[in-house]
Structure 1
């Protein structure tokens, strides 16, 4: 009995020790987690402060130094001026006239605004157009329309060429920015003879309209264009900004739409960005998340006013939007007037969204980041999986874009695919382009971009089906000439997801956004339960209209129009100024003083903006970056589950292809050789792609194949080269059993690739290996020898004679 009692006591003590150890272990893990999160928060805050301080110091120190030197030079000029009084008189007269002309331009802007509003804010296209499909007449009505661009005089369009469909962003402004001027996306496509269509939208959404209705309408538009051009390839879909992610939604929900997708500055992964940059991504955490658009929609009687979005954009760069563009107009009102009016016609056209539309955009995309997590739905039971997209995808981003930085445009790729090999397994082609400095709007409207990036892209889209599945960067270099004489070279360089990840400074900062998403859901629920009933009771159509008219962006335009007493007086002053116009001499020192004064004002406003952004970022991470925030947002922090890259080779579609790698003929062999060479060199020039595409579509042995068969062979041979490159080479003789076929295959490859130009070592080794395996001599009458009997000297000779150039 005593022994049993002692054993029980010993067991009890052991259990107590084990429980205590378990409790201590959990406590230790919790403390470690808190310390780790605190360390991460400190590191992010420290890095943000360092980057912001360095950026502010370097940028503004240089500007202050330059302005100081300019002021010193101006002071010297004043001392050397013979008649300061005369220069002052000339300047005052000139400045007074320019004030009158500037005010008159603002008056005209007000008139254009009122006229544009009265007309329902039609597209601001620089081209004539006709309505092909009106979304209001569809079974699921919406305020979208399909327009056909009427080619201007002197431009011939070939209806057999691939059509272009441009989808503009619905983010507060109206449609038309993609065809705002001749050097534009529309202009580039028309100049190459392509039919061009435009997806536009009205100012007022249809009652009850949702983004699902819009998606179905846009998919119908694409099918309509395809029917109108039955002998053309599938249309190219170009989505600008928010039109970009809308294009992805449509393609994911309609995999039969296989024409190339072009995404320009599209924020698909809105949590992404660099610490110390991109302040707009913090808005959700600092402004309240989803309940804000819900509240403003309720005040708008179910409609969200897009002017609020435009104001957010303006506040990103106040020196430009509140001073710079007006100062530029004032300095040269005659030359800048029309350009100012044309742009303001679009910038000042404010569009509405239904509450359901803006709520989905904020909740599912910008705050929730659900599109890249594969948890977003437009309709119940219909998930949006970006992997379902069959069409090639082009992504254009810029380091100078502070609205959609490259990380937001590109990080969705790594969130969707395990690695670049999975992209190949799925037969997908993703090509991205990076610009060094152009801003967000410049991606759509810049002549510089239109003449280079969009022109290079337009020529490449014609041949994209010939490129092997994978991830590529499109590089434009060797630029020569200017204007219409500008020439450049386009190269495609194979990339990995690691290359895309290197554009970011890490993903640890995104944990804070998960906490914001969780808080946004809670706030939305509280507002919907307690706040919404009261706000909706107070709202009415009349009140909504009054609030919209009183919005600062509308009020400032209407106040200057000719319908006001102020506007009529301005028109009279401007007429007198034009009649007596006497511009001051360009060397007038007071003109230089005026310019420097404007630069000092912009400098001060930019400094205030940068200090604001630094405070904004620090506040965001101080609130949402700690251990509690990390715990609070852990439900929303989970990312999409991706397959293990090591298991991709065992997928049924891959195993089936590898099991039959010895089967095939000349088409399979040529494609396999091209893929092997491209893989070894990690890229190729666009001119090679163009030649390859022409042969792929129009010459033997490929022209007799159907489009489906060509794509199937290209996909299969890419898988063989990716998952068993050694076997891909060794089994080539089975595809080319006789000497004549081998010579034909190699000669065809040489014709496609062209002359040797600085081949890489890997390319030389692959070319040498292929020559040995195929025992290629270039003489059909010579008996083939086994690869093992080829002498090293003979192999080297063949390599020099036949090795290809991809770069």
Structure 2
């Protein structure tokens, strides 16, 4: 009954339509009608999915099974957050002794789960690496009276619970905060630093005044609305609740081409293959949540408009100052140049706000690592599969290395093994490298700071306080008097974003024929060829529409920026709000305050007294840091060798002791390098000659991890060899002779091995003269069998030795 109509022979169609225009038009028209039906059916499914999702008690989009470990509603100060343990999927094994991972999702209008949305996600990467994983999510509605401080305290309680659940792990949990959750965990870590391991903040804004002109128009929003009074109005209209759909609407306005055309056209043009991906994403994007009015007001006043977090001006209700310099865990900042919600200046501006230079970072014992992606958007930072497989996988694999990096500011880059000459030395497909940076270089390359912009934003902050006070005095009483809970719920339901989902669902009687029509189309689908003339024209028209919307967006953003700079740059307005006196913005600069400078001086005095304290472990670590400090970059290979050498030298030492040793020796070298190096022979005093020689071997082993040393690093290593040789001179002569005799025997064995290896290689050349050189496997075997080359003696004791064997304490590192 539903059999397709007979199609005329091709020869007949060619005779009737010799140029093929009619056939192309008919094929395109048929395909367009079918795509329209399928598109509307996907919209219907989206509406059904939305209604099913929001009607759940605890909706989330996690792609992994999880069980609740701790409910925030049961805390002394209840919140709508909960701690969930991720259950490993089949085939994935978790090491309970490994460092736990805790992922926190943003509560910025959408529901939870995006951090574990896909198998290739932040949680998926950590699970495959064998780490126990936890997720901190939230419910759609806040608890009565819930505040931002309550949420921060709840997150601290959750982390304490994670630590209790893993007593066998010697590592503190790594915490990943996405977007809005990033600044929350930074607040928590500044209040209770002892419960945090390394912190990764992905796309998290911490410095809201920062930005580059011509980009990041969201930072002007507060000024264009006259401050935070409109936030209070929205909360009053919601009967004390702020609708998260308003935040989502702001995000969508940033890119009208994608919101109003590209996203929908992509589905329409590829409806046969795009439907599943579209519906999965819309399940999260349409899961709007509600914030408490007091919460959102705190956020807008103190962060978006006031910028008080990055300048250490926030104080809790019980009198504790929230100062990000109190964070003792390494902080990894992941941002992107393609992010228009949290551009790199807003993600990294707090570093410049809090510290005058890198010496301030070092004195505060902070390790800050940043990675700037070239192009991915805001959601791609923590959602994109390609980003998770590359950047997040490398962050996870190198987290122990990041945890022991000496204090300072570092830029990290991820390079492919295929792009490197030393690919055979790498264990994975990518390598994470770290390069020391300065705040001046960061400001020049990333932050693009302008002092006059600070003055304008300070004017907005003052004006916001004035307008908010006027609103609360004259308008707020009237709004609260007429708004009822039922009226607030009705306004939330009638929000245009929500209506777009509800109207296209099975609850709309007009959508009843859609599933029947869609099934009929799928049974006899006629997709048009990609080279069809009209399909090509369709794509061209779509591109023109998208470009037109982008042009309109650029004009709009330029107009907003010009208006903001003009209005808030007026000296009269600045003077009216109290900023027109001395011509300077009265903005707190914590890094230049006298109290902070006195702290740095005390810290330096303490370290000067400890330059000559310690033993052979301090000498080895000091030597390695000195040699590697001359290199432009460092990577995980040095860390693995260093940690292995540490385990050999002192098996009973813990990783925390190792971290403390690295940081302390780095401080000492940074403070007075000459005195620190000059004290190495004194640190080795009392050690046996064999122990000193073995320690030098460990140093060489570490330095050889990343291949051949640079000329500068080699000279530094020769200096270390001389210092160890000086220490050998102080050893008892009889013991030194025994050590040199052992060394003579070892070198002789090595020489015999070298002769054997040379003979083997020569035999290979004789066997295959036409090849020109042995194969890679033969070369590798010959290289491993070859003995080490030794250098001439550098110390007096070696030169005067009756043995003609040259001391191994002075040889260069092996080349890999």
The one of 588, 613, 624 equivalent to 1:639 is 588
Q: 2:37, 2:706 → 1: CA distance?
A: 64
- Quote the residue 2:752 is aligned against: none
Give the stretch that moved more between structures: 159-168 or 566-575.
566-575
Give the alignment partner of residue 581 of structure 1, picking from 525, 529, 535: 525
SS of the counterpart of 1:490? strand
Gaps of 5+ in 1: 1-79
Whether contact under 8 Å (2:31, 2:527) holds in the other structure is yes
Q: Residue 369 of structure 1 aligns to a residue in which SS?
A: coil
Distance in 2 separating the partners of 1:148 and 1:366: 32
| Residue aligning to 2:6 | none
Conserved 8 A contact 2:703-2:709: no
Matched residue, 1:523: 467
Match of 2:255 in 1: 317
Structure 1 CA distance, aligned partners of 2:546 and 2:398? 41
Q: How far did residue 788 of structure 1 move?
A: 7.8
Match for 2:812 among 788, 802, 807?
Answer: 802
Q: Choose the corresponding residue for 1:331, options 254, 269, 280.
A: 269
Asked if 1:286 is matched to 2:230, the reply is: no
The C-alpha deviation readout for 1:534-561, integer Å capped at 9, x for no partner, is: 1111111101001001101001110101
**In the aligned structure 2, how far is the partner of 1:740 from the partner of 1:627?**
74
Q: Say which of 138, 148, 153 aligns to 2:85.
A: 148
Written as runs of structure 1 = structure 2, the 5 A alignment for 1:480-491 is 480=418, 487-491=429-433
Q: Any residues of structure 2 matched to 1:155-166 within 5 Å, and which?
A: 155-166=92-103
Tell me by how many angstroms 1:165 deviates.
0.4
The answer to whether the 8 Å contact 1:372/1:640 transfers is: no
| Map of 2:40 onto structure 1 | 103
Structure 1 residues 81 and 380: alpha-carbon distance in aligned structure 2, compared to 1, 3 A threshold: farther
- 8 Å Cα contact 1:424-1:718 kept in structure 2: no
The residue correspondences of 1:35-184 to structure 2 (distance < 5 A) are 82-120=19-57, 122-184=59-121
The separation in 2 between residues aligned to 1:562 and 1:789, in whole angstroms, is 91
Quote how far apart the aligned CAs of 1:694 are: 4.2
Cα shift at 1:695: 4.2
**1:755, CA displacement in angstroms?**
5.1
Deviations 1:199-250 (A, max 9, x none): 0000100011111111111111111111111111111100000110011011
1:741–1:682 distance in 2 versus 1, CA, 3 Å? farther
**Secondary structure, aligned partner of 2:310:** helix
CA distance in 2, matches of 1:176, 1:650: 42
The match for 1:655 among 597, 605, 608 is 605
Compared with structure 1, are the counterparts of its residues 591 and 277 closer, same or farther at alpha carbon in structure 2 (3 Å cutoff)?
Answer: same
Check 1:694–1:343 CA distance in 2 against 1; reply closer, same or farther (3 A cut). Answer: farther
Asked if 1 retains the 8 angstrom alpha-carbon contact of 2:207 and 2:349, the reply is yes
The partner residue of 1:616 within 552, 560, 571 is 560
Identify the residue that residue 736 of structure 1 maps to in structure 2.
684
- Equivalent position to 1:297, from 216, 228, 235: 235
Q: 1:147 to 1:613 in 2, by over 3 A?
A: same
**1:345-385 alpha-carbon deviations (Å, 9 max, x no partner):** 11001111111100111000111000011111342412101
8 Å CA contact 1:162, 1:195 repeated in 2: yes
Q: What is the match of residue 26 of structure 1? A: none
User: CA 1:251–1:393 in structure 2 vs 1: closer, same or farther (change >3 Å)?
Assistant: same
Residue 544 (structure 1) aligned with residue 488 (structure 2): yes
Match of residue 192 from structure 2: 254
Partner of 2:434: 492
Partner of 1:506: 449
SS at match of 1:372: coil
User: Do residues 553 (structure 1) and 501 (structure 2) align?
Assistant: no
Map Cα deviations across residues 593-634 of structure 1 (whole Å, 9 max, x no partner). Answer: 111111111011111111111111111101112333444363
- Alpha-carbon distance, 1:693 to partner: 3.3
Counterpart position of 2:788: none
Instruction: Report whether the alignment pairs 1:684 with 2:634.
Output: yes
Deviation for aligned residue 1:308? 0.3
The answer to whether the aligner puts 1:781 opposite 2:740 as a matched pair is: yes
Q: CA deviation at 1:772?
A: 2.0
Cα 1:295/1:765, change in 2 over 3 Å = same
Q: Is the 8 A contact 1:178 1:240 kept in 2?
A: yes
Tell whether the 8 Å contact from 1:164 to 1:195 is kept in structure 2 after alignment. Answer: yes
Deviations 1:182-210 (A, max 9, x none): 11101100111111110000010001111
* Partner Cα separation in structure 2 for residue 477 and residue 629 of structure 1: 50
- With over 3 angstroms needed to count, the CA separation of the structure-2 counterparts of 1:196 and 1:155, relative to structure 1, is same
Q: Which secondary structure does the structure 2 equivalent of 1:174 belong to?
A: coil
Q: Quote how far apart the aligned CAs of 1:716 are.
A: 1.8
Deviation of 1:723 after TM superposition, in Å, equals 0.7
Taking structure 2 as the reference length, the TM-score comes to 0.84
Q: Secondary structure at the match of 2:414?
A: strand
Give the distance between the partners of 1:803 and 1:271, measured in 2 at CA. 49
Matches within 5 A, 1:356-505: 356-480=294-418, 487-502=429-444, 503-505=446-448
How far, CA to CA, are the matches of 1:671 and 1:121 in structure 2? Answer: 51
Is 1:190 the counterpart of 2:145 in the alignment? no
Taking the aligned partners of 1:788 and 1:414, their CA distance within structure 2 comes to 50
Structure 1 residues 85 and 444, CA, compared in 2 at 3 Å: closer, same or farther? Answer: same
Aligned equivalent of 1:675:
625
User: What do the CA deviations read for 1:270-289 (whole angstroms, capped 9, x no partner)?
Assistant: 11011111111111111232
Residue 572 of structure 1 is matched in structure 2 by: 516
Deviations 1:72-103 (A, max 9, x none): xxxxxxxx993110111011111101001111
Distance 1:805 1:140 in 2: 60
Q: Measure the CA separation in 2 of the matches of 1:477 and 1:518.
A: 46
Q: Is the 8 A contact 1:211 1:357 kept in 2?
A: yes
* Structure-2 separation of matches of 1:353 and 1:346: 17
Superposition RMSD in Å: 2.7
Q: Between 496-505 and 255-264, report the one with greater CA deviation.
A: 496-505
1:715 equivalent in alignment to 2:663? yes
User: 8 Å contact 2:79–2:150 — kept in the other structure?
Assistant: yes
Whether 1:349 and 2:287 are equivalent positions in the alignment is yes
SS of 2:194 mapped into structure 1: coil
Looking at structure 2, the residues matched to 486 and 731 of structure 1 have their Cα atoms a distance apart, in angstroms, of 39
Q: Is the 8 A contact 2:345 2:448 kept in 1?
A: no
- Write the distance in 2 (CA, Å) between the matches of 1:547 and 1:756: 62
- Equivalent in the alignment of 2:422: none
Structure number with greater CO (CA < 8 Å, separation at least 6) is 1
**Alignment partner, residue 785 of structure 2:** none
Aligned partner (choices 506, 526, 542) of residue 598 of structure 1? 542
TM-superposed deviation, 1:436: 0.7
1:751 — aligned with what? 701
Query: Conserved in 2, the CA contact under 8 Å of 1:756 and 1:805?
Result: no
Equivalent pair of 2:312/2:590 in contact (CA under 8 Å): no
Q: 1:787 Cα deviation (Å)? A: 5.5
Secondary structure of the equivalent of 1:463? helix
Moved more, 299-308 or 591-600: 591-600
Does 672-681 or 159-168 show the bigger shift? 672-681
CA distance in 2, matches of 1:802, 1:649: 41
What is the CA–CA distance in structure 2 between the aligned matches of 1:803 and 1:418, rounded to whole Å? 38
